[in-house]
Amino acid sequence: MSTIKVTDESFSDDVLNADKPVLVDFWAEWCGPCKAIAPALEDIAQTLGDRVKVVKINIDDNPSTPSTYNVKGIPMLMLFKDGEVTATKMGALPPQKLTEWVQDALD
């Protein structure tokens, strides 16, 4: 499985009502660190796809959802379980650290 693009309109169905945990990447096209972590997020989607769904929401195209979740900087990662935020991480991490954070947040 690879990362999935979501919008303000699809966020509720794709994230809040998902049947497994969802890692949400709040990002923007102009954000260098966002682009830097994109390959690591793809890897996580591939390797942990049975445990977590990885989605991306562009904050410029979809301003409502970041506002709802008080996103002040990007990249901002939020892990949702049963429609609730259970973990957050702001900023870019090296791929191994990002994977470790996701695995710890899932346990």
Q: How many residues does the chain have?
A: 107
Q: Can 58 be counted among the known catalytic residues?
A: no
Which one from 34, 45, 59, 77 is the annotated catalytic residue? 34
Helices in 3-94 by DSSP H: which ranges? 11, 32-47, 64-68
Q: From the candidates 23, 31, 54, 76, which is the catalytic residue?
A: 31
Q: Is 34 a catalytic residue?
A: yes
Q: Is the dihedral of CA 38, 103, 61, 70 positive or negative?
A: negative
Nearest C-alpha neighbor of 31 from the set 91, 93, 99, 96: 91
Active site amino acids: 31, 34
